[in-house]
Amino acid sequence: MSNEQKQNSRKKLLNNYMRYASMGIQMGVIMFIGTYGGYRLDKYCNNHIPVFTLLFALLSVAASLYLTLKDFIRKKP
C-alpha cells in the first residue's frame, strides 16, 4: 500500500468518525433542548404532573432519531 493510499484511508476513517460523533452530539442537543423546554413550560404553567416535559422529551427523541436516520441513510459524498 502506498503512502498516498494510507493517507486516503486514514482521512476516510477520520471523516466517518467525525460524521458519527456529530450525529451523537446532534441527538444529545436536540433531546436536551426539548426536555428543558418542556420543563420550563411545566414550571411556567405550575403543572404538578410534568406533562410538557414528558411530551417534549418524547417528541425530541423522535425528532433526533428521524434526523439521525435521515443522515445515516443519506448517500456518502
Give tens-digit pLDDT for 29-70: 999 999 999 999 999 999 999 999 999 999 999 999 999 888
- The predicted pLDDT at position 33 comes to 97
- The predicted pLDDT at position 61 comes to 96
Q: How far apart are CA 64 and CA 77, in angstroms?
A: 22
C-alpha cell at 69: 436516520
Q: How far apart are CA 71 and CA 64, in angstroms?
A: 11
- The predicted pLDDT at position 63 comes to 96
Do 26 and 63 contact (CB within 8 A), yes or no? no
Whether pLDDT at 4 is above 80: no
Q: How many domains does the chain have?
A: 1
Look up the domain containing 50 and give its range.
3-73
Whether pLDDT at 7 is above 70: yes
Binning pLDDT at 50, 70 and 90, where does residue 77 land?
low
Do 60 and 30 contact (CB within 8 A), yes or no? yes
